[in-house]
A and B are shown apart, each in its own frame.
Chain A
Amino acid sequence: MNTATRTVSDIRWQWALPYMPLASRPVLRNMLLLFTILITSFATISSKHISRQLCTDLQTQQDVSNAHYESWTKLLLEQGALSRQARVEQIAQQRLHMSVPTTQQVEIVKL
């Protein structure tokens, strides 16, 4: 028997309720239901709380991710500025005394 049909059949002895002892089955079940309601409502509250917390966490993480993105672009720009062709060439020539070999300086090895 499933719950629905049981509830329907319960109605048949409802008239006998005042004559039944306190600890009989319907009262127990009602207590049980009351407790269940209490537990689920507390669960709702706590899950709502957890959800808010997670939402805040998500927000924080998004902010962090944004901040990382910002610093990444900043670093990218910095890298771009430091690796500018003009700068690289200048350093290679002046500080490291490098130069492109002339064709006379290159020996070609035939395989």
Chain B
Amino acid sequence: MGYAGRFYTVIGLLVLVGACLVWRMIDLSIIKHDFLIKQGDARMHRIVSVPAHRGMITDRNGKPLAVSAQVHAVWVNPKLVPLDHPEFDQFAKALGWSPIKLRHRLFQTKKRTFIYLNRSLPPKQAEQIKNLDIPGVYTEKTYKRFYPEGEVMAHLLGSTNVDDIGQEGIELQFDEWLRGVPGKKEVIKNRLGQVVADLNTIRQPHEGHDLALSIDSRIQFLAFRALEEAVSQYHAKAATLVVLDVDNGEVLAMANVPSYNPNSLTGPRDGRYRNRAVTDVLEPGSTMKVFSVATFLTSGKFKPDTIIDTNPGRITIDGSTISDVRNYGVITVAEAIQHSSNVAMSKMAAVVGQQKMSQTLFKVGFAEKTASGFPGEVSGTLSSRQRWRPIEVATLAIGYAMTVTPLQLAQGYMVLGAGGIKRPVSLVKNDKVPQGERVLPEKIAHEVLKMLSLVTEKAGTGKRANVDWYRVGGKTGTAYIAGKHGYDHTRVTSSFAGLVPMDKPRFACVVVVTEPQGVHYGGLIAAPVFAKVMSGALRLLSVTPDNLPTKTEGS
């Protein structure tokens, strides 16, 4: 080959190489363009979630009652986990399982590729597991709800499920408000897994809102402990207490016994999970007599000093006998409340009639759900039919023939305490006093209050409810529980409903003890619980005493 030949060969080769390069450029940037972009995105492009926390629930003073804290979920791919890994036993130990059980579980599920072993492992143990570095074992961050006050407020707060979604109680009622919705964003990650660029926010995260309840955890604790004592002392089946703030309708305490530990829901699924203050009804008995009397006074046919003959201490209507504990003889309306005279109530009810009594009860808020909005709340019953037999009218006057929840009862007393104004009951702290609605004339409410304070005086049935330095007004109730064959005289609910201090009522409180053993009078069981809780509450909220002992010594 001559010089020219070699020259053109080299030139030709160079051109060929150049052409190859140009072709490759075209190939990469035009023909395979989409494919390469896709591959690049698949390696670098990630959609990551932006965490949002569930809001905290606090009491009225800001004390945390329900907090979401970080835990770790441990999941495995059973196909990848070597059962003979040298660290296997340690892995089981960190999980809190026995190695045999864990092996068994993994063997059982070996066909699957994803199982959760624990969805709420404390960070420390999760760290241990991560450090063991066993193939097929993964951890991820999740949240779990914790309730520092434990069983004291379990019923009220309710619970959330493993996905942090409200299932019961306040957690369910205010789920929308509390719930945090995690956001999503598109990012580019480098090969080390670090985010190098924020491309696009697909969904903004929504942080859950905090919620301040109207509950005062100190009063709540007093209430819970007092109920626990009463239940264990009288071997009662259950007990419930509600404290309302008369001034604005806030629920200051709502406690139930038996209770459960909300931080580990492993107990038996029995009645202990019910918030009895709103889900259970009782035939209230004598505690309702104040509303009957309010009706009698409103009708204008009776005055507090109207005289009623209760001789001989019993009355027979339609063949059924209603009797008093003993024969009180001739008494005034005020004394009828003080002694809780069934006979006097029945006689007055016959004069006033059922319609007016039902009217008052409906207006005060019975047979209707309260404004609390608590999930599972019941309305209680009060028949709205037109025709009532005389005996039914009499039983209504003494608090039978209808059912109420403890919260409704407390609400009724709150109406009396507020001078006849009904304000909506609230489980959430109010910023301002809600608008009330007048349901009873003020004069009547004051007259009834005056009678109520007689009950706790020496001659009354509720003197065990007294609190030093304060004038207490309240009414005891002992109601038989209806069984299969009419009222069962061995099963009773003992209740006390009252207001304090009587000068200007601040608290309305209802105590209900279900099926106490041994003693049967409401005054003996429920009233001391009332006194215990109220004396604490009055002290804690610095309510001015209205009944200080008069001292003679000068200063």
List A residues at the B interface (Cβ < 8 Å).
51-52, 55-56, 58-59, 66, 69-70, 73-74, 76-77, 79-81, 83-86, 89, 100, 102-103, 108-110
Contact = CB atoms under 8 A, between A and B. Distances in A.
Prevailing SS type, chain A contact patch: helix
A80 B63 contact: yes
The 3 closest A-B pairs by CB, nearest first: A80-B148, A85-B221, A103-B468
A104 to B, nearest CB: 9
Given A77-B69, A85-B221, A108-B548, A69 B53 contact: yes
Nearest to A80: B148
Interface residues of B, number: 30
B539 A56 contact: no
Contacts of B539: 100
B67 A59 contact: no
Interface in B444-481: 468-469
Prevailing SS type, chain B contact patch: mixed
A74 B555 contact: no
Contacts, number: 62
A69 B55 CA distance: 13
B51 A66 contact: yes
Interface string B135-177: 0000000000010111010000000000000000000000000
Contact of A56 (B150, B194, B218, B548): B194
B217 interface: yes
A89 B63 CA distance: 16
A59 B195 contact: yes
B69 A70 contact: yes
B70 interface: yes
A52 B188 CA distance: 10
Interface string B22-66: 000000000000000000000000000001010010000001110
A51 B197 contact: yes
A37 B555 CA distance: 96
Nearest to A85: B221
A76 B148 CA distance: 9
Contacts of B149: 80, 84-85
B274 to A, nearest CB: 22
A85 to B, nearest CB: 4
Contacts of B221: 85-86, 89
Contacts of B69: 70, 73-74, 77
Nearest to A81: B148
A66 B48 CA distance: 15
Contacts of B70: 70, 73-74
5 contacts: A56-B196, A70-B70, A77-B148, A80-B146, A86-B152
B68 interface: yes
Nearest to A78: B148
B442 interface: no
